[in-house]
């Protein structure tokens, strides 16, 4: 439940600030949908600070969390493999987990 609540909190943290004047929503594409105005550089809209906020809080911090969590996973797998015999199946499983971690981080 905490994961769902955190997801809603982060979504609201992205969507609500333009409703209160920090940046704004503008029509996009065929004028049938709205999106955050990343393009206007006018003084009154504070778009640059909003873009910096979005980049930092909704990209950089989650990316650091992903790197940390998957790094700890790789360390735990390597420790478990070192505690066991260095058999071919253990080495193969360790390579597979390492490959999966790299794919997940790159995919993010």
Helix (H/G/I), strand (E/B), else coil: 25: strand
Q: Is the pLDDT of residue 60 over 90?
A: yes
pLDDT of residue 77: 80
- CB under 8 Å to 46, separation ≥6 — which residues? 21, 22, 23
Residues 106 and 102: their CA atoms lie apart, in Å, by 6
At 63-95, the pLDDT tens digits run 999 899 988 988 888 887 777 766 777 778 778
- CB under 8 Å to 28, separation ≥6 — which residues? 34, 35
Confidence of residue 45 (pLDDT cuts 50, 70, 90): low
pLDDT of residue 89: 75
Instruction: Copy the structure tokens of residue 91.
Output: 């080495």
Q: Which of 79, 78, 69 is nearest to 104 (CA)?
A: 69
pLDDT of residue 85: 66
Q: Which of 49, 62, 41 is nearest to 17 (CA)?
A: 49
């Amino acid at each position: 439940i905490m994961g769902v609540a955190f997801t809603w909190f982060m979504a609201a943290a992205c969507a609500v600030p333009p409703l209160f004047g920090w940046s704004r929503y503008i029509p996009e594409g065929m004028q049938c949908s709205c999106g955050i105005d990343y393009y206007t550089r006018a003084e009154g809209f504070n778009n640059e600070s909003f873009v910096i906020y979005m980049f930092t809080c909704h990209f950089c911090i989650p990316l650091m969390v992903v790197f940390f969590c998957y790094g700890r996973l790789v360390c735990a797998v390597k420790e478990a493999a070192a505690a066991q015999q260095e058999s071919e199946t253990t080495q193969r499983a360790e390579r597979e987990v390492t490959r999966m971690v790299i794919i997940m981080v790159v995919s993010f």
